[in-house]
């Protein structure tokens, strides 16, 4: 119909009203519930930010303690989930396993959440946050063939993640506090980003009144792609390739500019940020600090800086307003923290979970209609069916 406006990729279409995250792409501004990302990354903890995003206000000490203890209550994952994990090949990508396991959680928690019932919603949020962290770590343990770890009620949420990932049954384990602090900050920086691809997916799937877990599982699949969350893995693989080829950044810049070459400079460019990505700024500084505190001397960081400087001076990138995004430096920190490359996007998912939950909740509480875009049909006009002998 002539009345349909075509906007592929929704470049100019607002899909909802939202009170959660404010983003100004021209000015490089990002706020969660009115608080600047710089201040939150500096002063808040990850669970505090989760609470803020999901429930709208910063928690009091009592509210935060209650939230954390409620999450703890739900960190046991049904033992039968392990037989599902056993069915995957060890070589399976952790993101595929994470999406499947999140879907599998529905089978063990079949009760549909009524978002209008505060208690039910609170319980579902805590359940998902608790179990998600554990299954996220299990995707890595599976890939190693190592025994699966359980949540430790004596330590915090982010510290637990390190222990779940790295503790061996034969040895004591204590996560390095520098690493825990860096992870906490990274999770905060990833926690929400208004109507990005995975979040829009969560809202879209949820708009059919599919449950919270099913909607989040769909979001994980959307996040996996290299143009979205999968970029953090792709950046590191790109930097490693540049290193293996003698560190020639200019060659890769030329490839990225060549319209006949599908290669893009991973970790560069953003749909909304056209000046700089405030998250990238914080992460670049954190990467420097973390590497020097841990005494890691990673030549990859130097390659990344060289590449960034060259791109920022290059007419192609300048005229298209392409700047480093959140994924450009995050992988360098993850690597320094001992996180394997194919787990980088899982790290993003752990950080983004509260955003997905908050957006799902808002969409349902706002009683948004089912998402159902229109199209401009460009196929054949009506034609008569041809029998086999006429084709």
**Residues at the site binding ligand CMC, with contacts judged by CB under 6 A:** 9, 196, 227-229, 231, 256, 264-271, 320, 322, 325-327
Measured from the CB atom, the residue of 124 and 236 that comes closer to ligand CMC is: 236
Residue 252 backbone zone (phi > 0: left; psi -120 to 50: alpha; other: beta): alpha
Minimum gap (Å) between residue 12 Cβ and ligand CMC: 12
Distance CA 164, CA 151 (A): 7
Minimum gap (Å) between residue 138 Cβ and ligand CMC: 23
> Pairing relation of β-strands 29-32 and 35-36?
antiparallel
Distance CA 298, CA 305 (A): 12
Minimum gap (Å) between residue 360 Cβ and ligand CMC: 18
User: In the bound complex, which residue of the shown chain has the CB atom lying closest to ligand CMC?
Assistant: 269
Minimum gap (Å) between residue 123 Cβ and ligand CMC: 30
Q: Which residues are catalytic?
A: 270, 327
Minimum gap (Å) between residue 279 Cβ and ligand CMC: 8
**24 is written with which tokens?**
């100004």
Measured from the CB atom, the residue of 266 and 282 that comes closer to ligand CMC is: 266
Distance CA 125, CA 121 (A): 6
* Sheet of 29-32, strands arranged across: 21-24, 29-32, 35-36
Which contacts qualify for 296-305: CB closer than 8 Å, 24 or more apart? 296/336, 298/332, 298/335, 298/336, 299/243, 299/247, 300/236, 300/239, 300/240, 300/243, 300/332, 300/335, 301/332, 303/239, 303/242, 303/243, 303/247, 303/249, 304/235, 304/239, 304/328, 304/329, 304/332
Minimum gap (Å) between residue 263 Cβ and ligand CMC: 8
Measured from the CB atom, the residue of 44 and 322 that comes closer to ligand CMC is: 322
Gyration radius (Cα) of the chain, Å: 22
Distance CA 134, CA 151 (A): 7
Measured from the CB atom, the residue of 132 and 268 that comes closer to ligand CMC is: 268
Residue 296 backbone zone (phi > 0: left; psi -120 to 50: alpha; other: beta): beta
Measured from the CB atom, the residue of 267 and 278 that comes closer to ligand CMC is: 267
Measured from the CB atom, the residue of 175 and 265 that comes closer to ligand CMC is: 265
Measured from the CB atom, the residue of 130 and 355 that comes closer to ligand CMC is: 355
Distance CA 23, CA 43 (A): 20
Minimum gap (Å) between residue 282 Cβ and ligand CMC: 14
Give every CB contact of residue 40 below 8 A, 6+ residues apart in sequence.
32, 49, 52, 188
CB atoms within 10 A of CB 124: 24
| First and final C-alpha spacing in the chain | 31
């Amino acid at each position: 119909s002539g009345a349909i406006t075509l906007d592929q990729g929704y470049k100019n279409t607002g899909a909802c009203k939202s009170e959660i995250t404010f983003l100004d792409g021209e000015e490089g501004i990002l706020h969660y519930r009115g608080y600047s990302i710089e201040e939150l990354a500096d002063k808040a903890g990850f669970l505090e930010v989760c609470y803020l995003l999901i429930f709208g206000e910063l928690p009091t000490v009592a509210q935060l303690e209650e939230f954390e203890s409620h999450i703890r209550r739900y960190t046991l994952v049904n033992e039968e989930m392990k037989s599902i994990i056993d069915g995957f090949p060890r070589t399976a990508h952790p993101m595929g396993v994470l999406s499947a396991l999140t879907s599998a959680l529905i089978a063990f928690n079949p009760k549909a959440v009524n978002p209008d019932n505060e208690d039910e919603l609170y319980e579902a949020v805590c359940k998902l946050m608790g179990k998600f962290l554990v299954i996220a770590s299990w995707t890595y343990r599976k890939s190693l063939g190592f025994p699966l770890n359980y949540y430790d009620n004596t330590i915090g949420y982010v510290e637990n993640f390190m222990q779940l990932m790295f503790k061996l049954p034969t040895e004591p384990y204590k996560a390095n506090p520098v690493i825990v602090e860096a992870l906490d900050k990274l999770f905060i920086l990833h926690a929400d980003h208004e109507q990005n691809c995975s979040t829009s997916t969560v809202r879209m799937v949820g708009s059919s009144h599919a449950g919270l877990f099913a909607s989040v599982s769909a979001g994980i699949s959307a996040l996996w792609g290299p143009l979205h969350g999968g970029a953090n893995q792709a950046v590191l693989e790109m930097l490693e390739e540049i290193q293996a080829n003698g560190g020639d950044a200019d060659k890769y810049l030329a490839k990225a500019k060549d319209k006949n070459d599908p290669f893009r400079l991973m970790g560069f460019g953003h749909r909304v940020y056209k000046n700089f990505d405030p998250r990238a700024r914080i992460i670049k500084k954190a990467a420097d600090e973390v590497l020097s505190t841990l005494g890691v001397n990673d030549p990859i960081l130097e390659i990344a800086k060289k590449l960034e400087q060259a791109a920022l001076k290059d007419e192609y990138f300048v005229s298209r307003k392409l700047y480093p995004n959140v994924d450009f430096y995050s992988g360098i920190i993850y690597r320094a923290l001992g996180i394997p490359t194919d787990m980088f996007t899982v790290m993003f998912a752990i950080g983004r979970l509260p955003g997905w939950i908050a957006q799902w909740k808002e969409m349902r509480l706002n009683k948004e209609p089912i998402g159902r875009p229109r199209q401009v049909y460009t196929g054949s006009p009506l034609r008569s069916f041809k029998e086999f002998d006429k084709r």
